[in-house]
A and B are shown apart, each in its own frame.
Chain A
């Protein structure tokens, strides 16, 4: 059963990824991309890593895709079509993609994967403990660095949005 679902998801991801690149209507390719991202969340559900699946849904499908749709809505008219690339460009891209795929497949096949009998699903508590632990294998430093980065980004966004108004008050 899991094997069948895996193959369905893999097929959906590949089909929609190709469709997303090939579509000449911008919003359609965004929607195909959304399908790819949602199917990846499906993979995470399949390996019973629910937290990551929900994060994938919130951040990618709910956040990034909605932002992209917004920008398309603002700049793109419904009758516009994207330009076709020239043949030389297309051939170069195809060759590069094939080379990249070859490298990936070679690496994956030459790596010795270990089979892990994992029947326990990761709980949020484990992840939280690990994120805040400063012992061996703890992630407190990256966690704090990311918090500071996000804070800086937020303040930066406010400063940019306020624009000249903020500058006038300070001077």
Chain B
């Protein structure tokens, strides 16, 4: 083990040496929470900037490049501006629910963030049902959107929230089933074990055709679940203003905005972990330097994030009936067939293993 990775172990030993047990575990919890909050904030801000730069690139303009080197501090400045803005509310809104809604969204995405194996050593919560936990937690976020839409006492917000609810509930099926297809290959739900299985070939290679189909379904339904274009019915500007967060301002709006980008990151990180071997390097080229695990994980995730941004600036928006037809008439039957094919493959041992 290299020295950089044993830092967490050292801190753990030092804490338990210097303090009584309950205090040490408490301090450790707070430290881990702070680290993940840091990741959350930095990743969110960075992704917003990335999105803007890529949008500019697709539309042949420059994008934000004045604040800091190549505009690196632009989103930082935006966040400061949002912090200093007034928090407005509507008349006769349900203030309690209105204020509660952003926290539902943000807490559910923070909880999902905690289970990812960034490298072999860097994983906060290696639970034995990791993948199922991810699906469970991501199903809570929609409550926040529904509450926000209803609590603001605004027709546009309400319609946006209803659309979001319909969309998230139906596409969650596809996300779950496509991940289940891959669980047939791994035989475990624990994320660290899933990575372990992929040491003999990434799952997308091991499962070849059904795995590629599952990956495509996962990316489509993942895009829909994060409410991004071409599935952004929730906040279709031309129809609904800004959808469920029409009435939000300042930092509360920023919470929704950040959570949306973090959800995109989470979907891509799930895809990286389940299909592309998480922190494993391609062909094991840097197996002797485990520190590079973070680099490989982030590189794969960022490539998938780029893919999702590519979707956003390429495809036109779907109508709500087209969206539901796509899910219930095409993706779901395909998914069920795919699970059967995968089961047969695993049964007959037709998987590719190195």
Partner of B127, one of A27, A31, A50, A72: A50
Q: How many whole Å from A123's CB to the nearest CB in chain B?
A: 5
The reply to whether the CB of B114 lies closer than 8 angstroms to some CB of chain A is no
Q: Which residues of A contact B22 (CB under 8 A)?
A: 1
Please determine whether A27 and B143 come into contact, CB atoms closer than 8 angstroms: no
* Contact residues, A57-103 vs B (CB, 8 A): 57-58, 61-63, 65-66, 69-70, 72-73, 78-79
11 contacts between A and B (CB under 8 A): A27-B150, A51-B129, A54-B133, A61-B140, A62-B142, A66-B139, A70-B165, A72-B150, A73-B149, A73-B158, A78-B151
A57 to B184, CA, bound (A): 23
Q: Which residues of B contact A79 (CB under 8 A)?
A: 92
* Contact residues, B131-182 vs A (CB, 8 A): 132-133, 135-137, 139-140, 142-143, 146-147, 149-151, 153, 158, 161-162, 165, 169, 172
The reply to whether the CB of B128 lies closer than 8 angstroms to some CB of chain A is yes
Total interface residues on A, CB under 8 Å, equals 28
A133 to B132, CA, bound (A): 23
Q: Which residues of B contact A66 (CB under 8 A)?
A: 139, 142-143, 146, 165, 169
Known: A51-B132, A121-B128. A78 touches B150 (CB 8 A): yes
The reply to whether the CB of B354 lies closer than 8 angstroms to some CB of chain A is no
Q: How many whole Å from A171's CB to the nearest CB in chain B?
A: 25
* Contact residues, A12-53 vs B (CB, 8 A): 25, 27-28, 31, 34, 38, 50-51
A57 to B139, CA, bound (A): 8
Known: A57-B137, A70-B165, A78-B93. A31 touches B147 (CB 8 A): yes
Partner of A28, one of B96, B127, B132, B162: B96
Instruction: Kindly report which residue of chain A lies nearest to residue B29, judged by CB atoms.
Output: A1
Q: Which residues of B contact A62 (CB under 8 A)?
A: 136, 139-140, 142-143, 172
Q: Which residues of B contact A57 (CB under 8 A)?
A: 136-137, 139-140
Please determine whether A73 and B142 come into contact, CB atoms closer than 8 angstroms: no
Instruction: Kindly report which residue of chain A lies nearest to residue B153, judged by CB atoms.
Output: A78
* Contact residues, A87-137 vs B (CB, 8 A): 121, 123-125
Q: Which residues of B contact A27 (CB under 8 A)?
A: 94, 97, 147, 150-151
Please determine whether B139 and A58 come into contact, CB atoms closer than 8 angstroms: yes
Partner of B128, one of A25, A28, A50, A63: A50
Q: Which residues of A contact B100 (CB under 8 A)?
A: 31
Q: Which residues of A contact B92 (CB under 8 A)?
A: 78-79
Instruction: Kindly report which residue of chain A lies nearest to residue B183, judged by CB atoms.
Output: A124
Q: How many whole Å from B108's CB to the nearest CB in chain A?
A: 10
Please determine whether B136 and A58 come into contact, CB atoms closer than 8 angstroms: yes
Instruction: Kindly report which residue of chain B lies nearest to residue A74, judged by CB atoms.
Output: B162
A50 to B94, CA, bound (A): 35
Instruction: Kindly report which residue of chain B lies nearest to residue A122, judged by CB atoms.
Output: B128
Q: How many whole Å from B193's CB to the nearest CB in chain A?
A: 10
Per CB-CB distance, the 7 closest pairs between chain A and chain B, nearest first, are A62-B139, A57-B136, A54-B136, A58-B136, A54-B132, A78-B153, A50-B129
The reply to whether the CB of B70 lies closer than 8 angstroms to some CB of chain A is no
Q: Which residues of A contact B94 (CB under 8 A)?
A: 25, 27-28, 78
Known: A65-B143, A73-B161. A123 touches B128 (CB 8 A): yes
The reply to whether the CB of B314 lies closer than 8 angstroms to some CB of chain A is no
The reply to whether the CB of B25 lies closer than 8 angstroms to some CB of chain A is yes
A34 to B132, CA, bound (A): 20
Please determine whether B162 and A73 come into contact, CB atoms closer than 8 angstroms: yes
Instruction: Kindly report which residue of chain B lies nearest to residue A62, judged by CB atoms.
Output: B139
The reply to whether the CB of B233 lies closer than 8 angstroms to some CB of chain A is no
Q: How many whole Å from B224's CB to the nearest CB in chain A?
A: 16
A70 to B142, CA, bound (A): 11
A69 to B101, CA, bound (A): 13
Q: How many whole Å from B112's CB to the nearest CB in chain A?
A: 11
Q: Which residues of A contact B172 (CB under 8 A)?
A: 62
Please determine whether A69 and B146 come into contact, CB atoms closer than 8 angstroms: yes
The reply to whether the CB of B189 lies closer than 8 angstroms to some CB of chain A is yes
Q: Which residues of A contact B129 (CB under 8 A)?
A: 50-51, 54, 124
Q: Which residues of B contact A123 (CB under 8 A)?
A: 128
Q: How many whole Å from B14's CB to the nearest CB in chain A?
A: 20
> A78-B93, A78-B153 are known contacts; what are 10 more A-B pairs with Cβ within 8 Å?
A27-B150, A27-B151, A31-B143, A34-B143, A62-B136, A62-B139, A65-B143, A66-B139, A73-B158, A121-B128
